[in-house]
Amino acid sequence: MVTVERVAVLRRVEFFNRAPGHVLASVAAEAEEMSFGPGEVIISAGDPGDSLFIVVRGVIQVTVDEGFTNELGPGTVVGELAVLVPELRSATVHSVDDSLLLRLRKPVVDELLLDHPDVAMGIIATLVRRFQGGGRAPATADHR
Amino acid sequence: MNLRRPTGPVAYLAAQGVTLGLLGGFIIIPASGIFLERYGSSGLPWVYIAVALVGAAITPGMASALRRWSLATVCVPVLSIITALITAIWVGIDATDAVWMSFPLQVLFQVVLQLGFTFIGGQAGMLLTVRQMKEQFPRIVTGFAVGFMASGLLGPVLLSVLGRTERLLAVASLCSGALLALVSLTRRRFPAQLSVMQRSADDAPAVPLRTLLLRPFVFLLLSYQVLSMFGTQLIDFLVYDRAAARYATSAELARFTSVFTVALNAADIVFLALVAAWMLRRYGMRLGLVANPLVATMFVLGGLLSGTASGMGALSVFMAFAGARVADIVLTDGSTRTAINTAYQALPAHERLAVQAGVEGLGIPGAIGVAGIALLVLEHGFEADARAVAGLTVVAGVLWALSGLAVYRGYQRNLRANLSRRVLRPADIDLEAVVDSDPSVQTAAHRLLGDAGRSRSKIVDPMPDGGVRDLLRADDPDVRTSAYHSAAALAAHDPEMLQLVLDGLGTASTASMAASALVTQHGGFGDLLDRALTNTEGSTKQCLRLVRCAARSSDPAVVGVLRRHVGHRSRDIGLEVLSSLVRLVAQHGPGPGPDQWSRLVGDVLRDDLVHAQRCDRAMAALARVAGAGELVRSLQDERNLLRRRTLAALGLIVDPATVVQARAWLEGTDQRAAALALEALEVSVPKQVRAAAVQLLQGSPGTAPMTGSASSTAETLADLAGDPQGIWRRDWLGECAQHALLAGR
């Protein structure tokens, strides 16, 4: 994917939709593309985590300890809390079919948040909405 | 912010205006005919006094009802009663020849007009934003003028068909029913807006009408409306007094009245259609409030001077008074009604309708009554002639114009107060803290997010420079962070040490502490900042971070450095320069005179407007070009950046609290709040920057967009891709344009 295409993907992600294109371009340039086949593990519960994943293509499945599962498609994010508070992952994420993800590491997100408070605002707003909706986070493969 | 033209509501309200005009016309034609035939013009002052008494009697009830029930709920029974009254008077006169009923009919005419405009204006206030009101309300009033003129043209035709004057009241009754139907239809079409009850934020008990009317701004509105109606009644009297002196027979008088009414309304319609909205948009509320008294008074003064020189019976006197009447009606409908309806929007929503009902219901009938008494006193008490009435009209006109200026100032104050009254929810405060450009506030926000920063707050005591140098080169960012404070103190005389601290600005984990250390410990921060802003080869990221913390500097040179760089080549850095400058000015005072800041802001906005127009033309040319989606979105980002720069720049010349609140409203999803914020800024900023600021903030630069022809598309893409003139100054736009060019091949 060229940078312009990556930016188009990032714009669809709620976390980043407040950021201007040129800022997303600097994020996109640091992102890693990762492909997974059906059944392959993307994140394992209990592993340390310091990066988030954005689904570009395909479907992934998030499973938490209690057996609660959730399927996510393009434009969604998993592991986002790990870039804010690095701790052990609390959920396992599998690829359901052939999938393509973008991986962003904590330092990249840190740079973004420091210079672009609008993005931080978007993240806070998303998290607030998520926690207000039912009092617990849905199974999005994070560590809580 | 999207300020689309609200065709739907305006069409419904204009239809109500037409029907109200027809209703008024078909009441006053038979009412005047029957009343004047029986009682003559000497009975009119008693009508005026009765109008005042009826207004005073029904207004408190109306105001109370409008605070208890929604406007739509109140409209229906009131219009039903009016329809029933008209029907009863028609049947009464037709069946029993009860001519005395023309007296309450005359009173009803004034009451219907005041209530009608209160209802239409109230609905407009709920359906339109304050900006749309200024643009669209003249069109709604045009409907009234059209309806009134149509009644004048249709009256004689219907009279010949129906046979008796009072039977025109049957048509009035039908018009009243039609108005009732239209109000109900509008309510059904816009239920969310019109059925809502506006309550105070704290659910406090409703303030009594008397207390409301004594509030300074409301009292000004009331005074303005009273003087407006008082002046209008006197001008009306002058015209008919001179006409009566000029035309001997009732047939001549009727012919004059007919021709004058049609000419008056035709001029009104032309003015409303062609000039009114443009005039308000171009010259604003202040002219909207004072144009009417000034122009009408000048005509009356002209007539008075002419009458003194050549006698009050001269044609020039009659023409001057007729001109005053035309100017009064045209400007009342074209500017005063719109300006006053807009002025009501500066009041808290839960009090607006009650105030409007109180001012229109008490003030206007009261003024009509006072005019009646004044005329009676002048005529019977002093045996005064038209010259005395004209003199009184001039005095009233001057007071009316002065009250217009006072209302405008009150409007400015109330808009700003409306902004500052908004109560921030805790969530907003947190989010706004994160948006803050102060690194310390951002750091706090990061901590809220759980970002590890435990050791960042530690500031080590000064230590020997060798030790500091070692710490600054450590791998662990927490260790480097702990050394910045001491390093910055030494950096003024040690270029290598300075570079190590500046390097710290380049990494998120150390940037805040490095910047903080430089701004508090480095002796020559102003020079350092100047060098960073002048260096075209340096890192934009580091420069941004340095500028962002400049507001915390105590170096007096910093304000001057920032002033020199507000037009920085990088618009992102320019935004940070403006933001830091606003903070420093707020802390230490403006320094140079306000005019200098206005000039500085004017220069920034002028350049930004050119860039905004460039962006808009490019977006129009690329709107449907395959592969240019990201480019168009990035051009929109550029427009958003210009809006933020405008708000930052306005912070230098407008109360920063107003700008902060306006920004929150402009960036929110509430269209009405956004329009109110824009209005508040428009009336607060100096004239020389007003037009540019509004165009930049509302997202419409006011130029015709370039059509997306093949040649314009290719030229635009080439321009963006190469940026040969260095006007776009954004590598990312070039990259997107290259992508679009490749996609198009």
Check residue B41 and give its pLDDT: 65
Q: Nearest by CB to B509, which of A22, A85, A110? A: A110
At B23-42, the pLDDT tens digits run 988 888 888 777 777 776 67
Chain A / chain B CB contacts < 8 angstroms:
82
Whether A21 and B739 lie within 8 Å, measured CB to CB: no
Average pLDDT over residues B142-165: 82
Cα separation, B40 vs A83, whole angstroms: 88
Q: Nearest by CB to B442, which of A85, A114, A128? A: A114
Beta-carbon contacts of B58 under 8 Å, excluding residues fewer than 6 positions away, are B111, B361
Nearest CA in chain B to A5: B630
Nearest CA in chain B to A12: B630
Listed range (A66-70, B83-87, B582-586, B708-712) with the worst mean pLDDT: B708-712
* Alpha helical stretches, state H, B7-70: 7-39, 44-68
Whether B430 and A107 lie within 8 Å, measured CB to CB: no
Taking phi first (over 0 means left), then psi (-120 to 50 degrees means alpha), and beta for anything else, what does residue B398 get?
alpha
Is the pLDDT at B401 greater than 90? The verdict is yes
Beta-carbon contacts of B84 under 8 Å, excluding residues fewer than 6 positions away, are none
* Phi, psi at B685, each rounded to 5°: -90, 150
Is the pLDDT at B564 greater than 60? The verdict is yes
Check residue B442 and give its pLDDT: 37
Strand order in the sheet with A69-72: A41-43, A91-95, A60-64, A69-72
pLDDT range class, residue A143, cuts 50, 70, 90: very low
* Alpha helical stretches, state H, chain A: 3-11, 21-30, 106-115, 117-132
Rounded alpha-carbon distances, angstroms, from residue A65 to A72, A82, B377:
18, 18, 93
- Give the residue from B135, B137, B223, B215 showing the smallest Cα distance to B401: B223
Listed range (B448-457, B531-540, B652-661, B728-737) with the worst mean pLDDT: B448-457
Give the mutation candidate from B438, B440, B630 for the A interface (greatest A CB count, under 10 A): B630
Most confident of B110-119, B425-434, B640-649, B692-701: B640-649
* 3-class SS string, B561-611: HHHHCCCCCCHHHHHHHHHHHHHHHHHHCCCCCHHHHHHHHHHHHHHHHHH
Is the pLDDT at B444 greater than 50? The verdict is no
Numbered residues of chain B with Cβ closer than 8 Å to any chain A Cβ: 427, 430-431, 434-437, 442, 445-446, 448-452, 508-509, 511-512, 541, 544-545, 629-630, 633-634, 637-638, 640-641, 730-733, 735-736, 739
Cα separation, A102 vs A76, whole angstroms: 11
How far from the centroid of its chain's Cα atoms is residue B533's Cα?
A: 38
Check residue B632 and give its pLDDT: 93
pLDDT range class, residue B430, cuts 50, 70, 90: very low
Check residue B101 and give its pLDDT: 85
Strand partners, A55: A101
Whether B541 and A11 lie within 8 Å, measured CB to CB: no
Cα separation, B127 vs B277, whole angstroms: 18
Whether residue B126 contacts residue B193, with contact meaning beta carbons closer than 8 Å, is answered with yes
Give the mutation candidate from A10, A11, A22, A30 for the B interface (greatest B CB count, under 10 A): A22
Residues in chain B: 745
- Give the residue from B137, B194, B200, B148 showing the smallest Cα distance to B23: B148
Q: Nearest by CB to A117, which of B442, B509, B731? A: B442
Is the pLDDT at B726 greater than 70? The verdict is yes
**Partners of residue A114 in chain B, C-beta under 8 Å:** 442, 446, 508, 511-512, 545
Check residue B709 and give its pLDDT: 64
Check residue A35 and give its pLDDT: 96
Is the pLDDT at B177 greater than 60? The verdict is yes
Nearest CA in chain B to A1: B739
- Give the residue from B638, B606, B608, B610 showing the smallest Cα distance to B622: B638
pLDDT range class, residue B591, cuts 50, 70, 90: low
Tokens (6 digits) for B236:
């009306």
**Partners of residue B511 in chain A, C-beta under 8 Å:** 114
Is the pLDDT at B1 greater than 60? The verdict is no
Q: Nearest by CB to A20, which of B427, B637, B739? A: B637
Is the pLDDT at B7 greater than 70? The verdict is no
Is the pLDDT at B385 greater than 60? The verdict is yes
**Partners of residue A113 in chain B, C-beta under 8 Å:** 446, 449, 451, 508
Check residue B461 and give its pLDDT: 42
Is the pLDDT at B324 greater than 90? The verdict is yes
- Cβ-in-10-Å burial (0-12, 13-18, 19+) of B641 comes to buried
At A42-79, the pLDDT tens digits run 999 888 888 999 999 999 999 987 677 889 999 999 98
**Higher per-residue pLDDT: B551 or B2:** B551
Distance from CA of A79 to the nearest CA of B (A): 15
Whether B452 and A86 lie within 8 Å, measured CB to CB: yes
Nearest CA in chain B to A110: B508
**Partners of residue B641 in chain A, C-beta under 8 Å:** 20
Whether A25 and B735 lie within 8 Å, measured CB to CB: yes
Q: Which of residues 66-105 of A touch B (CB under 8 A)?
A: 84-86
Whether A110 and B508 lie within 8 Å, measured CB to CB: yes
Is the pLDDT at B320 greater than 50? The verdict is yes
* 3-class SS string, B353-387: HHHHHHHHHHHHHHHHHHHHHHHHHHHHHCCCCHH
Listed range (B157-161, B220-224, B404-408, B482-486) with the worst mean pLDDT: B482-486
Is the pLDDT at B537 greater than 90? The verdict is no
pLDDT range class, residue B422, cuts 50, 70, 90: very low
Beta-carbon contacts of B577 under 8 Å, excluding residues fewer than 6 positions away, are B533, B547, B562, B565, B566, B568
Strand partners, A53: A78, A103
Cα separation, B454 vs B433, whole angstroms: 20
Beta-carbon contacts of B56 under 8 Å, excluding residues fewer than 6 positions away, are B362, B365, B366
Distance from CA of A124 to the nearest CA of B (A): 7
Residue type, B169: L
Beta-carbon contacts of B571 under 8 Å, excluding residues fewer than 6 positions away, are B608, B611, B638, B641, B642, B645, B729
Cα separation, B684 vs B548, whole angstroms: 27
Average pLDDT over residues B312-327: 90
Average pLDDT over residues B662-676: 81
Give the mutation candidate from A87, A115, A129, A130 for the B interface (greatest B CB count, under 10 A): A115
3-state secondary structure of A103: strand
Whether residue B520 contacts residue B493, with contact meaning beta carbons closer than 8 Å, is answered with no
**Partners of residue B735 in chain A, C-beta under 8 Å:** 3-4, 25
Is the pLDDT at A94 greater than 50? The verdict is yes
Is the pLDDT at B179 greater than 60? The verdict is yes
Cα separation, B627 vs A7, whole angstroms: 13
Whether residue B509 contacts residue B433, with contact meaning beta carbons closer than 8 Å, is answered with no
Q: Nearest by CB to B739, which of A2, A107, A113? A: A2
Distance from CA of B569 to the nearest CA of A (A): 16
**Partners of residue B737 in chain A, C-beta under 8 Å:** none
**Partners of residue B634 in chain A, C-beta under 8 Å:** 20-22
Whether B730 and A25 lie within 8 Å, measured CB to CB: no
pLDDT range class, residue B351, cuts 50, 70, 90: confident
3-state secondary structure of B24: helix
Distance from CA of A109 to the nearest CA of B (A): 9
Nearest CA in chain A to B738: A4
Listed range (B291-300, B505-514, B515-524, B721-730) with the worst mean pLDDT: B515-524
Check residue B376 and give its pLDDT: 83
Most confident of B123-132, B481-490, B621-630: B621-630
Q: What percentage of chain B has pLDDT greater than the value 70? A: 86
**Partners of residue B541 in chain A, C-beta under 8 Å:** 111, 115
Check residue B4 and give its pLDDT: 44
Most confident of B55-69, B519-533, B713-727: B713-727
Average pLDDT over residues B72-76: 85
Tell me if the pTM is above 0.90.
no
Distance from CA of B449 to the nearest CA of A (A): 6
At B202-238, the pLDDT tens digits run 455 566 777 777 788 888 888 998 899 899 988 988 8
Nearest CA in chain A to B507: A111
Check residue B327 and give its pLDDT: 92
When the pLDDT of each residue in chain B is averaged and rounded to a whole number, the result is 80
Q: Are strands A91-95 and A77-78 parallel, antiparallel or unpaired?
A: unpaired
Check residue B300 and give its pLDDT: 93
Whether residue B88 contacts residue B375, with contact meaning beta carbons closer than 8 Å, is answered with no
Whether residue B99 contacts residue B93, with contact meaning beta carbons closer than 8 Å, is answered with yes
